[in-house]
Amino acid sequence: MQTAADIVAEFAARHWVAVAGADLGPAARVPTMLTPEEQLLYHWLGRRVKGDGAVVDLGAYAGGSAARLLSGLALSGRACHVHSYDRFRTSRALWARYMPSEPLPDADDADLLPLVQRHLAPWADRVTLHVGDIGAQRWTAGPIEVLSVDAAKGSAMADHIAAEFFPALVPGRSILVQQDYLMSVQPWLCAQMVRLRDCFVPLAHVPKVGLVFLTVAPVTHAALIAAKVGELTDGKLMSRVREAAAWHEGMVQRAPFKTMLDQIKAHPGVRLGWQMRQARARG
Ligand SMILES: C[S@@+](CC[C@H](N)C(=O)[O-])C[C@H]1O[C@@H](n2cnc3c(N)ncnc32)[C@H](O)[C@@H]1O
């Protein structure tokens, strides 16, 4: 059995960058917002899974992250099932950008579900699509091997996701991917994780903005209360971002944390990523 130190060393070697593109099979053609390195990471994470619990994909869009996890799982010899969560709705602009060869819908808020079902058809027997607001979803399906978070676009949602899904992560084994971790308009992610530093060890920064963590202790109710970010004042949020910058010294440069602090200062009280981004665009 691998120790935490073994797993830290394994991720430090960044084995996913050596994955052959051909290994992804049909997954390579599923539209995705993931960077090329993230795509290889997701496949590799599926392939290296160590238990038979669930793999959870929070924020699936067109199914790109799920497809890459599934292509890896298909080679893993494990029975893990993927649970993908999203509203499965999209704007026309995103549709045109990520699915340019598909007929453009007439209006925004277009239904993505039929397309996602088609994209994930090669693995239909091992994926479940959970349609709707993740804020209304509960997790009761047992241990989670890999949890990918790409939907904590506001501080309240970050608290909800942590409360529902983090307690199912298995110490010494489960991997958490915080997809947007270093995004300047989502500073609550590092503010949350730094207060969970007894439960998670950072494993890798995967460009552009993702961080991968190993679960090392159970995420208890008390830990979740201490890590809450929904009600933080701007001052407390900034102080947690500074703590996170120190925590990640040696793995992540200071610049992304500095940009987060600038964003908080420029947008007092704003706790939704799209609002910070809009305000920035106007400014
Ligand atoms: C950046 S995209 C995900 C990209 C995807 N992982 C990929 O591989 O291309 C974020 C997704 O999160 C979803 N999302 C954000 N907030 C959500 C919520 N509260 N409930 C359900 N889905 C949500 C959006 O609909 C969007 O598809």
Q: What is the pLDDT of residues 156-176, one digit of tens each?
A: 999 999 999 999 999 999 999
Instruction: For residue 4, report the distance from its CA to the centre of ligand 1, in Å.
Output: 30
The predicted pLDDT at position 278 comes to: 82
Instruction: For residue 6, report the distance from its CA to the centre of ligand 1, in Å.
Output: 32
> Is 238's pLDDT higher than 80?
yes
Pocket test for ligand 1, best of 91, 116, 134 (most atoms within 8 A of CB): 134
Pocket test for ligand 1, best of 45, 87, 159, 161 (most atoms within 8 A of CB): 87
Instruction: Give pTM, 2 decimals.
Output: 0.97
Nearest CA to ligand 1 atom 5: 60
Instruction: For residue 1, report the distance from its CA to the centre of ligand 1, in Å.
Output: 34
Task: Please give the average per-residue pLDDT across 249-260, as a whole number.
Answer: 97
Please, which pLDDT band fits residue 5 given cuts at 50, 70 and 90?
Answer: very high
Task: Please give the average per-residue pLDDT across 247-256, as a whole number.
Answer: 97
The predicted pLDDT at position 280 comes to: 52
The predicted pLDDT at position 279 comes to: 61
Percent of the chain at pLDDT above 70?
98
Architecture category of domain 4-230 in CATH: 3-Layer(aba) Sandwich (3.40)
Percent of the chain at pLDDT above 90?
97
Task: Please give the average per-residue pLDDT across 222-237, as a whole number.
Answer: 98
Please, which pLDDT band fits residue 98 given cuts at 50, 70 and 90?
Answer: very high
Q: What is the pLDDT of residues 72-87, one digit of tens each?
A: 999 999 999 999 999 9
Instruction: For residue 87, report the distance from its CA to the centre of ligand 1, in Å.
Output: 7
Task: Please give the average per-residue pLDDT across 128-137, as a whole number.
Answer: 98
Atom of ligand 1 nearest to the CA of 61: 27
The secondary structure of the chain as a DSSP string is: ---HHHHHHHHHTTGGGG--GGGGGGGGGS--SS-HHHHHHHHHHHHT--SSSEEEEE--TTTHHHHHHHHHHTTTT----EEEEE--EE-HHHHHHH-TTSPPPSSSSEE-HHHHHHHTGGGGGGEEEEES-GGG----S--EEEEEE----BHHHHHHHHHHHGGGBPTTT-EEEETTTT-TT-THHHHHHHTTTTTEEEEEEETTTEEEEEE-S---HHHHHHH--TT--HHHHHHHHHHHHHHTTTTS-SHHHHHHHHHHHHSTT--BHHHHHHHHHH-
Atom of ligand 1 nearest to the CA of 88: 25
The predicted pLDDT at position 264 comes to: 97
The predicted pLDDT at position 275 comes to: 94
Q: What is the pLDDT of residues 33-63, one digit of tens each?
A: 999 999 999 999 999 999 999 999 999 999 9
Please, which pLDDT band fits residue 1 given cuts at 50, 70 and 90?
Answer: confident
Beta-carbon contacts of 103 under 8 Å, excluding residues fewer than 6 positions away, are none
The predicted pLDDT at position 283 comes to: 45
The predicted pLDDT at position 72 comes to: 98
Nearest CA to ligand 1 atom 17: 151
> Is 243's pLDDT higher than 70?
yes
Instruction: For residue 2, report the distance from its CA to the centre of ligand 1, in Å.
Output: 33
Pocket around ligand 1 at a 6 A CB cut-off: 32-34, 59-61, 64-65, 86-87, 133-135, 150-151, 153, 157
Instruction: For residue 262, report the distance from its CA to the centre of ligand 1, in Å.
Output: 25
Instruction: For residue 89, report the distance from its CA to the centre of ligand 1, in Å.
Output: 9
Pairing of strands 127-131, 82-86: parallel
